[in-house]
């Protein structure tokens, strides 16, 4: 049994990771301030191996027990949420990372930092390799997230160099699946909720921008494989699906699956919204023996019933 601290454990990726680890017999310490998550998500956990600490990681804290691993998933992640409070986002991704890394040093715990494809900005290289430094607008409305995540990578790597912590950095590309908040604002969730409610499907721009969508189970496999690597490998490593779809293709696919009467409407392009985003996962294949297995159709078939049941319960 391992003792694993998951910061942001009540969020979308966090709660799925908690479920995975608890099912495998581990002890979980979930740290969350419920800024972008809901405490009701944790009602599924009744195990004596699950402990909740309600806390904002921008303030230092301690847990007074040994921990083996720390997964830092604590951050607003959708443009809607991180732009609504940009300074909180920056503090979480900078001050919060310092505080979690101090715990890793104190308890000699392995540390995984959830970084993001947003560090590549509006990429001039396609697909994006980890060696690409990115094309980020440091003054744009998305920069609170993009730049604070870039800064967090630097902080983590300098802790690794100075203190020798066993560090892993995962650059996560568009991920979807059950337990993403109904008001999250990201495209897969938005389209599913709108289609289930019979509302207009809102596409920003012409719908020609492309994304590659990774199902949550595949991402969890990648995160765990990355954490299990030796101290000599830190990453960063891209984790995502490599099959691209236009946003219009995604909308039409969801409409077909839900058999909805919703209409697609086109609104002005969102500021700084990247036109292309696709990972090069050669490094993940080489170092982790990982690649996604769940294709978009299967992933949507697994996801849509969760939101249908959630809407019916509200």
Q: What is the DSSP letter of 268?
A: P
- Examine the residue annotation and report whether 71 is marked as an active-site residue of this protein: no
Residues in the chain, overall count: 314
The angle formed by the CA atoms of residues 148, 88 and 19, to the nearest 5 degrees, is 85
The angle formed by the CA atoms of residues 220, 63 and 168, to the nearest 5 degrees, is 35
CA 169 to chain centre: 12
Phi, psi (deg, nearest 5) at residue 69 = -140, 150
CA 60 to chain centre: 23
- Residue 166 near residue 110, CB atoms below 8 Å: yes
- Residue 136 near residue 124, CB atoms below 8 Å: no
> Annotated catalytic residue: which of 71, 145, 159, 179?
145
Q: Which residues contact 146 (CB under 8 A, 6 or more apart)?
A: 116, 118, 119, 121, 136, 137, 140
The angle formed by the CA atoms of residues 176, 177 and 183, to the nearest 5 degrees, is 75
- Residue 129 near residue 235, CB atoms below 8 Å: no
- Residue 21 near residue 73, CB atoms below 8 Å: no
Q: Could you give the C-alpha distances from 156 to 74, 138, 149, 281, 314, in angstroms and in order?
A: 15, 20, 11, 22, 41
Which among 211, 177, 222 is positioned nearest to 13, based on CA atoms? 177
Catalytic amino acids?
145
């Amino acid at each position: 049994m391992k003792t694993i601290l998951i910061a942001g454990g009540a969020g979308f990726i966090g709660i799925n990771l908690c479920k995975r680890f608890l099912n495998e017999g581990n002890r979980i310490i979930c740290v969350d301030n419920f800024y972008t998550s809901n405490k009701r998500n944790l009602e599924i956990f009744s195990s004596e191996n699950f402990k909740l600490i309600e806390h904002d990681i921008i303030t230092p804290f301690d847990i007074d027990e040994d921990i083996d691993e720390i997964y830092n998933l604590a951050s607003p992640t959708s443009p809607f949420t991180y732009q609504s409070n940009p300074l909180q986002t920056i503090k979480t991704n900078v001050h919060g990372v310092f505080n979690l890394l101090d715990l890793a040093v104190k308890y000699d715990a392995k540390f995984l930092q959830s970084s993001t494809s947003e560090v590549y900005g509006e990429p001039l290289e396609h697909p994006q390799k980890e060696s690409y430094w990115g094309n980020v607008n440091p003054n744009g409305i998305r920069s609170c997230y993009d730049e604070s995540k870039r800064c967090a990578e630097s902080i983590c790597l300098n802790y690794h160099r100075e203190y020798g912590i066993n560090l892993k950095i995962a650059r996560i590309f568009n991920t979807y699946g059950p337990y993403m908040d109904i008001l999250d604002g990201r495209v897969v969730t938005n389209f599913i909720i709108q289609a289930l409610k019979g509302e207009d499907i809102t596409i920003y721009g012409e719908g020609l921008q492309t994304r590659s969508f990774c199902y949550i189970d595949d991402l969890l496999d990648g995160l765990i494989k990355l954490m299990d690597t030796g101290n000599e490998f830190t990453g960063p490593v891209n984790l995502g699906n490599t099959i691209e779809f236009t946003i219009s293709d995604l909308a039409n696919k969801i409409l077909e699956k839900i058999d909805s009467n919703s209409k697609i409407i086109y609104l002005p392009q969102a500021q700084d919204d990247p036109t292309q985003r696709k990972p090069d996962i050669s490094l993940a294949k080489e170092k982790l023996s990982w690649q996604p297995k769940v294709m978009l159709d299967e992933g949507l078939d697994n996801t849509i019933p969760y939101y249908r049941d959630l809407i019916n319960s509200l």
